[in-house]
Amino acid sequence: MQIPASFPRFLCALFACVLIGGLPVTARAQSDAPDQIIHFTGPGGETIEGGVWLPDGASDGSPRPLVVISHGNSGWYRGHSDTAGALTEAGFVVAALTHPGDNFQDQSRGLRLTGRAPQLSALIDYMTETWIGPVEIDDARIGAFGFSAGGFTVTSIIGGVSDAGAIRAHCVAQPEVFACRLVAMFGGLDLATWRPETRDAHVKAAVIAAPAFGLSFTDESLAAITVPVQLWQAADDQILPSPWNAEPVRDRLGGTVDYHHVENAGHYDFLTPCAPEMRAAMPELCTSAPGFDRAAFKAAFNAEVVRFFREALGEP
C-alpha cells in the first residue's frame, strides 16, 4: 500500500513525533535514558530495538518483576521514560520496544494493530529467556503498560480479541474522528494481516492509558479477562474520544478495574512533560488545558502506576 506523501507530518502532528537533527524531540525531552539498549528478533524475523531500565541494587540476587511498555502510534522505546524511571526507582525492571513499522521513522505498518502484541510478546520472551543482565527476571510477575495504540496492544496481550469489522462499522458511522481519518488515509484496514487472538499468559497485570479502538474488542473476550487492570481516560481526549475507546474496555472487563478519569486532561497529557524545545516545535502536543499542570499530573500518574503494579505483582 502506498502511503500518502503527507502522511508522516500529519501523523507526527497528532502522535508525538517530530524530527529535529535526525532525532525525535522526545529524545531530547527525556533525561531518563535506559541502562541498556537491546536488540532482539521479532515474530517476523525482524530485528527490534528496545531499552532496559534497571533498579538500584539490581545485582543483589533477588528475582525482580518485569514491566514491559508499548508506545503509541509513531513513537519509540523511550516515549514513556519518566514512567519507566518511576518503576525502576520502586524496584521493577522495565523493558520497552520500538514497534517495527509503527514508529517515528517508519509508519508503514501503522494500522497493523494486531501485529503489535506479538512483538511485545517477543520482548517478554527475550527478557525471560535470552537477556543476560545483572538481575534475574521473575517470569511469574510480569506486567504491561500501554498508551494509545499501545493501550490497544496491551488490551490484546491480556486477552482482548479485536473484531476488525467493528472498526470498519465505527468508521462508516463516525468518519470524522481522528482514528477513522487515519484508517481512511491508509486506505482501510489490512484484513489479511489482522490477528485477533494475541494473548500472552505471561502478563499478570496491565496498565492501559487512553486505549485505541476499545469498541472493537468482543464482549466475550473482555469478560474472560481476569488479570487486574488499571485504566486511564482523559476527560477531554480529542484524539480517542468518548464513548468509543476507553469506556468499552472499562465496562466489559471481567476482572478488577482500577479506573481513573482525569478531568481537564487531553490525550497527550499522558506523555512525558515537554522540554522547552519540544514546546516550541510541537505546541499541539505540549499545550494542556488552562490550569492543567501536566508535570504534576504525571508525577501523580506515575505514583499510581507504581502502586498498582506493587499491589498486583507484589513488592519488588
pLDDT in tens, the chain (316 residues): 223 333 443 444 344 333 222 234 333 334 579 999 999 999 999 999 999 999 987 777 789 999 999 999 999 999 999 999 999 999 999 999 999 999 989 888 989 999 999 999 999 999 999 999 999 999 999 999 999 999 999 999 999 999 999 999 999 999 999 999 989 988 898 888 899 899 999 999 999 999 999 999 999 999 999 999 999 999 999 999 999 999 999 999 998 899 999 999 999 999 988 888 888 888 888 999 999 999 999 999 999 999 999 999 999 9
Separation between Cα atoms, residue 19 and residue 314, nearest integer Å: 40
CATH of domain 27-102+127-162+192-313: 3.40.50.1820
- Cell numbers at 77, concatenated: 522505546
Backbone φ, ψ for residue 7 (5° rounding):
-60, -50
Domain ranges in the chain are 27-102+127-162+192-313
Q: Are 81 and 27 in contact (CB under 8 A)?
A: no
DSSP 211-270: -S-GGGB-HHHHHT--S-EEEEEETT-SSS-TTSSHHHHHHH-SS-EEEEEETT--GGGG
Model-level pTM?
0.91
**pLDDT at position 186:** 83
CA 166 and chain centroid, separation = 21
**pLDDT at position 7:** 41
Q: Exposed, middle or buried, 261 (CB in 10 Å: 0-12/13-18/19+)?
A: middle
**pLDDT at position 31:** 53
Query: Looking at the DSSP assignment, which residues form a beta bridge with residue 51?
Result: 37, 96
